[in-house]
């Protein structure tokens, strides 16, 4: 089969309801916040938009509800030059929604009501088999059923497609799934859940990466927040720092921007270290702006930031 330079993103599509507050509320507490912002989101959708804005040729596989949020999302993807031929619609469940609070330190708290996302099934994936098998990269996250992720990973892996998983939200992963993943991109919490290692410094991060590697994943990229990124590949470890002078206002969607950017870097023939550097720059721009999809930079902005 002819291989193209295509990225398939398989995952969730949400509408984000976001409020900035001084601090995150405690259980049982009501606090006053700033203005309400409603924006397109969902880890899958954000990653698809990031990969497209940064220069990738993207097909997005997701499921929306038959409602205003779903229709708005579809329009967004079309405007973003994303192939929408494999966006399924669910007549019974509403589109996904995420309730997000962001504090003064740019940290967030997210609750997702998955709606139609949770009905994206193996049968839906069967309808996408050909396009998945003809792609270069399949990028996924965990806001859709895990059986669907496992099924798609197996199809793609067997077809020689590079399979990349951002295991968010954090979840234990079967060896069966990990063995079909080429590149895993967890944050600290996700790496701890998958490896069973508490990460407190560079050494424990390496230990977590080693254990994930032993479970079958070739390349592990642990995002360590302000401590940068630990990359483990081909037996070597690389610590790639982030720009320390950035003034973050909202980290929502930064991880998604990073994942989309990694795919573009790989497709353009960058080394893994270069791809992580490119992704760090893109994610670094996204945290300076509010919202998930709203904050994702275009390629030109990343190139300008790299030069400065």
Please give the residue ranges that form the binding site for ligand RIB (CB under 6 A). Answer: 12, 14, 16, 41-43, 46, 98, 110, 112, 143, 252-253, 255-256, 292
Angle at which helices 254-267 and 43-53 pack, to 10 degrees? 40
Nearest to residue 221, comparing CAs of 172, 250, 187? Answer: 187
Which residue, 43 or 93, is less far from ligand RIB as judged by CB?
Answer: 43
Q: Which two tokens stand for residue 160?
A: 């020689």
CB of 63 to ligand RIB, least distance (A): 14
Q: Whole-number minimum distance, CB 130 to ligand RIB, in Å?
A: 28
- Least distance CB 300 / ligand RIB (angstroms): 23
**Other Cβ atoms within 10 Å of 80 Cβ, number:** 20
Strands (E) located in 66-189 = 87-90, 96-102, 108-113, 137-140, 162-165, 183-184
Nearer to ligand RIB, 112 or 262 (CB): 112
Q: How far apart are CA 298 and CA 282, in angstroms?
A: 8
What's the min distance (Å) between Cβ of 114 and ligand RIB? 9
Using the minimum distance from each CB to ligand RIB, give the nearer residue, 228 or 260: 260
Is 44 annotated among the ligand-binding residues? yes
Q: Which of 35, 124, 126, 256 is catalytic?
A: 256
Is 187 annotated to bind a ligand? Reply is yes
Cα(8)–Cα(152) distance, rounded to whole angstroms? 11
Nearest 10 degrees: Cα torsion 55, 289, 63, 74: -70
Q: 46 among the known binding-site residues?
A: yes
State which residue has the least CB distance to ligand RIB.
41
Closer of 43 and 232 to ligand RIB (Cβ): 43
Q: For this structure, is 256 an active site residue?
A: yes
Upper half-sphere CA count for residue 47 (Cβ side, 13 Å) = 34
239 annotated ligand binder: no
Alpha carbon 75 to its chain centroid, in Å, reads: 20
235 annotated as ligand-binding: no
Residue positions annotated with a catalytic role? 256
Give the residue numbers of the binding site for substrate.
14-16, 42-46, 143, 256
């Amino acid at each position: 089969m002819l291989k193209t330079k295509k990225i398939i993103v398989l995952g969730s599509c949400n509408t984000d309801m976001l409020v900035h507050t001084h601090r995150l509320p405690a259980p049982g507490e009501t606090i006053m916040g700033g203005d309400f912002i409603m924006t397109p989101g969902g880890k899958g959708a954000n990653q698809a938009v990031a990969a497209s804005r940064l220069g990738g040729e993207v097909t997005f596989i997701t499921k929306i509800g038959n409602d205003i949020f779903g229709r708005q999302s579809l329009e967004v993807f079309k405007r973003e030059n994303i192939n929408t031929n494999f966006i399924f619609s669910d007549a019974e469940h509403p589109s996904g929604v995420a309730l997000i609070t962001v504090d003064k330190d740019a940290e967030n708290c997210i609750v997702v009501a998955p709606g139609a996302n949770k009905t994206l099934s193996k049968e839906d994936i069967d309808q996408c088999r050909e396009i998945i098998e003809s792609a270069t990269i399949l990028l996924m996250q965990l806001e859709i059923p895990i059986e669907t992720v496992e099924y798609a990973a197996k199809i793609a892996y067997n077809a020689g497609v590079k399979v990349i998983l951002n295991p968010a939200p954090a979840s234990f992963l079967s060896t069966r799934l990990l063995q079909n993943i080429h590149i895993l991109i967890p944050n600290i919490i996700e790496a701890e859940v998958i490896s069973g290692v508490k990460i407190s410094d560079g050494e424990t991060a390496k230990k977590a990466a080693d254990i994930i590697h032993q479970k079958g994943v070739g390349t592990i990229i642990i995002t360590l927040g302000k401590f940068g990124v630990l990359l483990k590949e081909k037996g070597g470890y690389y610590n790639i720092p982030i720009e320390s002078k950035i003034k973050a206002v909202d980290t929502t969607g930064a991880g998604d921007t990073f994942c989309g950017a990694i795919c573009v870097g790989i497709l353009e023939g960058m080394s893994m270290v270069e791809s992580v550097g490119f992704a760090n720059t893109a994610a670094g721009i996204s945290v300076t702006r509010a919202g998930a999809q709203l904050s994702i930079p275009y390629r030109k902005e990343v190139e300008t930031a790299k030069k400065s």
